[in-house]
Structure 1
Amino acid sequence: MSAPVIEVDDVWVRLRGQTVLEGVNLDIYPDDFYAIIGPNGGGKTTLLRVILGLLAPCRGEVRILGSTDAAMRKFLGYVPQFRTFDFQYPITVREMILSGRLGHITRRPRRYDEKDHARTEEALETMQITDLADRQVQDLSGGEQQRAIIARALVGDPKVLLLDEPTVYVDAPTEAQFYEILDRLRDQMAIVLVTHDIGVLPGHVTRVACLNRRLYTHDTAEITADMLEAAYHCPVDLIAHGVPHRVFPEHSREE
């Protein structure tokens, strides 16, 4: 088996006096399409921030390609939650994607070179938005903006693509196109997807884990009632008839 590209080793995080992550261990391998699900406030975004080096754990460590060196974070591509972007900022699609190369520029003064521009054109082509390159980001549809965001994450040639709730604000056709894109990209890099939309996962991901302060791992794409109950702390019914179905919490009815 190949060495992990990401190793999360006994990570603990406390914020405002509360334990947010407790003893989290996670290995991501080069061929992984790994989904992390769990309730709101369960620590999913916090875990991504720790992996990205944006938040320091109070205990434990994260290794990227076997190293704790912060410089290794340049091998991570990140797609944050859709609502965190200011799409009213006056910038073209090409300029936005090109800005994703800044972390790879070590020379002073920091100026883009031919390689940076070439990588930008490759990312535009990969996401099939070359025809949108000179348009203002604010003029794009939701699906087009999403493709541009992913292209910006890809322009740095990442070994791992991290995505935080990427389909929350898109419609069903756009979501289907999004997963088609990820299916193509998984041959080039590992993918870690944080999501609430568990209904479509079994048809795409290779492994899944539930996170609610503690991480409950599962080495297949199957989402079982037991693992959901462990993470959500309530009984659930899993309905399956050969196709993926959503999971609904089971609550007593008021008479």
Structure 2
Amino acid sequence: MKKDQIIRWCIYTCCCLLAACAKDGLIDRTAPAGKTRLMFIHAVPEAIQFNFFSGNTKLTAAIPNASTEQQQGMGYNTANQPSYFGYLGIAGGAMPISAILPQDYGVGEKDTLYAGASVLDTSFIPEENNSYTIAAFGTAKSVTSLILKDSLIAADSCGGIRFINLMPGTVVVDLQMTYTPPNGDAPVTSLFAEKIAYGGATGFKALKPGNYVFQRKRTGTQTNVGSALSITRLKAGQNFTLCARGTLAAMLQVPHE
């Protein structure tokens, strides 16, 4: 191979490697192979930002900061910082999972929450051709994870709803449900779930199409916990996770698409 051809090949290789790297020096996964899917939820009720990684591969990527153009992290009720990321296809096999603060986080290294710090480190082995939700919750300096297999409702006549309780503290809750049929019949109120403790979750439950209002209650009482969440015109085949976060914050409605 001629010298000038070797030089051109080296330049081409370097450009490809640079194009594969994010501005924080970590590789973005934009179109991974595989039928196994992951989605992500930020449920830490403090003003920390992070993105999920597997090793050096970024699994989530938020909107760049307007001034620095660097990738911001996922956020908790923060503008331009999404609280969840929809499904991402991955290759199968064991994988480490971490949550890393973005490079423009802006806190000095004297604090444990400095730019580039990992606030969560765990791992799991996803089963091939299955879907999972990974939720980070806890406090800013004590982040933990909940990994759930998503057994979605695929019926032609029903939608699917799941509830997870990630509210800090020891509040055990019931989830009350009021269903209004699309045919104009009177609303019907019942319990969707009972005695869901912190870090607990239901499976997906099949529900008829129509309008729903969900309200958290202290277990065994009619005392409301936070505000209600309404789902208008639930359709057959639609699936949502209702995620209770914070102390009295509104529930997060996460679509599974």
TM superposition score normalised by structure 1: 0.28
Instruction: Give the structure with the higher percent strand.
Output: 2
Instruction: Give the structure with the higher percent helix.
Output: 1
